[in-house]
Structure 1
Amino acid sequence: MSAERAITFLEGLKIPEGPHAGKPLRLAGFQKQFVVGALAPSNMVAALSIGRGNAKTALAAGLALGAVIGEWDKQPRREVIFAARNRDQAKIAFNFVCGYVGGLPKAKRDQFQIRRGSRLEVEFAGAGGGLARCVAADGRSILGGAPVLAILDERAAWEKDKGDELENGILSGLGKRGGRALIISTSAPDDANSFSRWLDAPPPGTYTQEHRPAPGLPADDLESLLVANPGALEGIGSSPEWLLAQARRAIARGGSALSSFRNLNRNERVAADNRSVLVTVDEWLSAEVAPDALPPREGECILGVDLGGSRSMSAAALFWPRTGRLEAIASFAGNPSLADRGAADGVGSRYVEMKERGELSVLGENVVPAGPWLASIIKLADDATISCIVGDRFRHAEFLEAMQSAGLRVPFIARGMGFRDGSEDIERFRSALFERKIKVSPSLLLRSAFADAITLIDPAGNHKVTKSRSCGRIDAACAAILAVGEGRRRVARPAKQARAALWV
């Protein structure tokens, strides 16, 4: 009932700005879907993630105006909050409300008082009275409030500590009057962001609506662009032609321009700060070839291994330096299930999909047994000539035990994962990738790992891999870096020439 009243109210408003200013507001299908979910009696919080320019703030502002007037909630002295990282950001939603007020009939419009000074407020003097106000990300400024509606705008961009403090202050006040919170934003740059956690692990009473395309697709893929921008086909925001043109411009410029386009316009979880990315999605995609176009397994094979712990993924990468062929496989223990692991890691059904593609296996009950797992990797390598195994030097003893259990008698090369060894391996891996010396068949395992991996940079400019920005798994990426790094070192070494025999 509340959703029906809200939709009727919204479609009675006039568009306040843009090329269609003054025309009646018409909700698109995805907007109606969000209103119905947000105002369902069982929900207290509604989270919407969608590409920039799809009128998410305008929609939330319209709902805020309806809440101030009391269209579906007749409580007296209604309070609505616009919350954002700073005052200027909150002012965007505030200005939309003011624009909607300006399009109301004069009798209704005269019941509003708008304050634009030190306080940004819209006060309604009609039946029951209502007040909408702006607050910035300082939790202390909201203590004691009792809103019937709160809009948390561009939540992914809030500072972590102050943002979480403000969010907690708002949510703690919603229960006083049965209030609701609308958390709206484009995608955060990583899975660990508070906004991402709302979408990936929503608590009871939360409605989520995320318009995010599948990972690893080209930036100018139109179908996935329309997934992130559903308003483009309904006259809202950017047109499909404009989105395609911007995608191609971002591809041509590369770097941070491409990362920003993926994050803001494609609504992907991509760090816009290109310096911290191990490799961009597009850089990795350049290494993928069709399975029948893979180079042969010729020459020596380098096996890079990232051994998992009690609950971690174990991953292995096979690299043939002579041809550049790269293969990767990973395993989890059987308990918990892959579906439960995916839910806990915030990646949905990704692990199940990897298993169906043959890229991920299940071995052991609670821990992946290192010896049998390594033996299964050797079996996968088939007739390949494995010349060495490369792994973390801090797991040296475990590697030796696993190799003995698997009956594998090849040299073990210990590499550190810090700045000293890690920086060299990363640079060798990147150079091989950029020079098209790596060829791999499309792999969801590797795409996911490289999308989640970033690097920390020390004052001297050295890099080491970290997964601090993600809840996903980067083990396969680490194994690939170890294998390719060692392979490139071997290729770079001058070939030893045998001495000519001397007859005495």
Structure 2
Amino acid sequence: MMASTKAIRFLESLQIPEGPKAGDPIKLAPFQKKFVKGALKAGISIAVLSIGRGNAKTALSAGIALGALLGEWDNQPRREILIAARTRDQGRIAFNFVEGFARSLPEEIQEQMTFRKSPRLEIEFDGDGGGHLLRVIAADGKTALGTAPTLVLMDERGHWQADKGDALEHALLSGIGKRGGRALIISTSASDDSHPFSKWIDEPQEGVYVQEHRPAPGLPADDLESLKEANPGAQYGIGSNLDWLQAQARRAIKRGGSALTTFRLYNRNERVSAETRDLLLTVDEWQACEVSELPARKGQVVIGIDLGGSASMTAAAFYWPETGRLEALGTFPSMPSLLDRGQNDGVGSRYVDMSERGELSTLGEQTVPVAPWLTQVMKHVEGETVSAIIMDRYKQAELGEAISRAGIRAPLIWRGQGFRSGGEDCERFRRATFDGKVKTSPSLLLRSAFSDAVTLRDPANNMKLTKARSKGRIDAASATVLAVAEGARIMGRPVSKGGRVAWA
């Protein structure tokens, strides 16, 4: 009999330990059976499950962990099962499920199990030769060194702390190789594509089974079909029902901001930034600026410039305040290649995708030559009337020299990026987006930049733009803020009606 068949039979012999259906026998839903079959298939050592909160992923994995401890399909001597979580309290949730499921086992088996909650959470099973152990560890890689687990459960992997979480994952995966063990990596979606949990899903590997329940991006938060996709358990009485989810979605839409972002992240299982309080714009606020058909290039154009170095991107934003049209272009040096640079920055092939969409280009070798790049920028709006080129005064000397060499004749405006000027620019930009005065076509360049763009606030609540992670590239967002803020100032100035008043 296959391991997955034995596991399904064992799981459905248990009883639900808590909730309204406590005491009822477990009946696995189709998506749960699919995961068990995939995870325990021959040749699979790592199984990844991404699904919305409340779909019993921890309970399902805890049931598998209990079966592995008892040797239902793996009769290795001295089996070792590890439950890894961000914190001990998070690991206790899975531990409590294992403990609750154990109460529905035959008494003779329960008598051979010893539960310890101090100094660490452990379950020891003395049957089948004895020496079998299940224990909970927190996200500190050193606690897993020297272990040889036959099964590992990594709970909510998408939300572990970056450095400690990666260290623990590496230690655990190196350990399962000693005894042909398996790892179950379960979580709601991580906040971005660069997270290790996202990479497990996006980069297929031999011996890895992946099951993801994530709807397409950009859909309304209360869209019923996509809610079903992210919450397949709702149709089988597992977790929240669909009426409740839709009601919560509509409430989140009305509240907006962090309420909507966290609903998308946890309940819709979307990859949106968990940075909610200090994001310059949330994903929904930015997507409201994206239109299928851009307004015309009408009136004067404002060009925002953000000059990068050898590692940073150099970007330009073009904003027509009269119609609200926004365009943006990014440029990297050609060395290293866009693919290698994306791997270094933790975004995979995202830069290559931007290049294929015509949003990102390369120029120069180790650095972007400023004068030739500015010539390309001006060619992009050839024939248009340039109202102003607005730039960060931090690189005023370098940009000024390049503008002279390129022979550009246009009004130049220098802005600071601190709390004073930067705060005004950020606020004017946010106001323009909320008022529907910024319209752009769907742009991977801008989506990526704004997902990493956060603000710092001083004690007087003034804000300045910065990036959420060290390798985030927010240059296109910085250029956009400069251009749109200056466009807002232009539109806010009174129009001169001509004529003079002579005072006698």
> Which TM-score tier does this pair reach, normalised by the shorter chain?
0.7 to 0.9
2:288 maps to which residue?
286
Alignment-mate amino acid for residue 78 of structure 1 = R
Alignment-mate amino acid for residue 120 of structure 1 = L
Map Cα deviations across residues 305-361 of structure 1 (whole Å, 9 max, x no partner): 223433443322111223322222233455555455545544455444444444334
**Relative to structure 1, is the Cα distance of residues 163 and 351 closer, same or farther in structure 2, using a 3 angstrom cutoff?**
closer
1:284 Cα shift?
1.8
1:324 maps to which residue?
324
Whole-Å Cα distance in 2 between the matches of residues 445 and 387 of structure 1? 24
1:32 maps to which residue?
34
2:60 maps to which residue?
59
User: Contact 1:47–1:198 (CA<8 Å) still a contact in 2?
Assistant: yes
1:480 Cα shift?
0.7
Please list every run of 5 or more consecutive structure 2 residues that lacks an aligned counterpart in the other structure.
none
Alignment-mate amino acid for residue 460 of structure 1 = A
1:71 maps to which residue?
72
Q: How does 1:268-307 map to 2 (within 5 A)?
A: 268-272=270-274, 274-291=276-293, 294-307=294-307
Whole-Å Cα distance in 2 between the matches of residues 221 and 381 of structure 1? 39
1:441 maps to which residue?
441
1:479 Cα shift?
1.2
Map Cα deviations across residues 276-316 of structure 1 (whole Å, 9 max, x no partner): 1111122222323331xx44323221001223433443322
**Relative to structure 1, is the Cα distance of residues 244 and 444 closer, same or farther in structure 2, using a 3 angstrom cutoff?**
farther
1:265 maps to which residue?
267
Q: How does 1:230-379 map to 2 (within 5 A)?
A: 230-233=232-235, 235-272=237-274, 274-291=276-293, 294-334=294-334, 336-363=336-363, 367-379=367-379
1:49 maps to which residue?
50
User: Contact 1:83–1:90 (CA<8 Å) still a contact in 2?
Assistant: yes
Give me the TM-score of the superposition, normalised by structure 2.
Answer: 0.85
User: Contact 2:69–2:81 (CA<8 Å) still a contact in 1?
Assistant: yes
2:383 maps to which residue?
383
1:429 Cα shift?
0.6
User: Contact 1:190–1:469 (CA<8 Å) still a contact in 2?
Assistant: no
Q: How does 1:75-474 map to 2 (within 5 A)?
A: 75-115=76-116, 119-129=120-130, 130-137=132-139, 144-159=146-161, 163=165, 167=169, 170-171=172-173, 173-189=175-191, 195=197, 209-233=211-235, 235-272=237-274, 274-291=276-293, 294-334=294-334, 336-363=336-363, 367-469=367-469, 471-474=471-474
User: Contact 1:28–1:234 (CA<8 Å) still a contact in 2?
Assistant: no
**Relative to structure 1, is the Cα distance of residues 251 and 113 closer, same or farther in structure 2, using a 3 angstrom cutoff?**
same
Please list every run of 5 or more consecutive structure 1 residues that lacks an aligned counterpart in the other structure.
none
Map Cα deviations across residues 254-283 of structure 1 (whole Å, 9 max, x no partner): 222112212211223434553211111222
Greater alpha carbon shift after TM alignment, 303-312 vs 60-69 = 303-312
Q: Percent identity?
A: 59
Whole-Å Cα distance in 2 between the matches of residues 51 and 394 of structure 1? 44
SS of the residue aligned with 1:276?
Answer: coil
Alignment-mate amino acid for residue 267 of structure 1 = N
**Relative to structure 1, is the Cα distance of residues 142 and 358 closer, same or farther in structure 2, using a 3 angstrom cutoff?**
closer
Give me the TM-score of the superposition, normalised by structure 1.
Answer: 0.85
User: Contact 2:452–2:467 (CA<8 Å) still a contact in 1?
Assistant: yes
Whole-Å Cα distance in 2 between the matches of residues 359 and 455 of structure 1? 25
Aligned length: 501
User: Contact 2:14–2:104 (CA<8 Å) still a contact in 1?
Assistant: yes
Whole-Å Cα distance in 2 between the matches of residues 212 and 400 of structure 1? 48
User: Contact 1:201–1:346 (CA<8 Å) still a contact in 2?
Assistant: no
1:41 Cα shift?
3.8
Whole-Å Cα distance in 1 between the matches of residues 257 and 436 of structure 2? 18
Whole-Å Cα distance in 1 between the matches of residues 503 and 265 of structure 2? 71
**Relative to structure 1, is the Cα distance of residues 348 and 143 closer, same or farther in structure 2, using a 3 angstrom cutoff?**
closer
**Relative to structure 1, is the Cα distance of residues 231 and 470 closer, same or farther in structure 2, using a 3 angstrom cutoff?**
farther
Alignment-mate amino acid for residue 86 of structure 2 = R
Whole-Å Cα distance in 1 between the matches of residues 414 and 204 of structure 2? 42
1:178 Cα shift?
4.1
SS of the residue aligned with 2:437?
Answer: coil
1:157 Cα shift?
4.0
Alignment-mate amino acid for residue 390 of structure 1 = I
Whole-Å Cα distance in 2 between the matches of residues 3 and 53 of structure 1? 23
Whole-Å Cα distance in 2 between the matches of residues 503 and 165 of structure 1? 78
1:148 Cα shift?
2.2
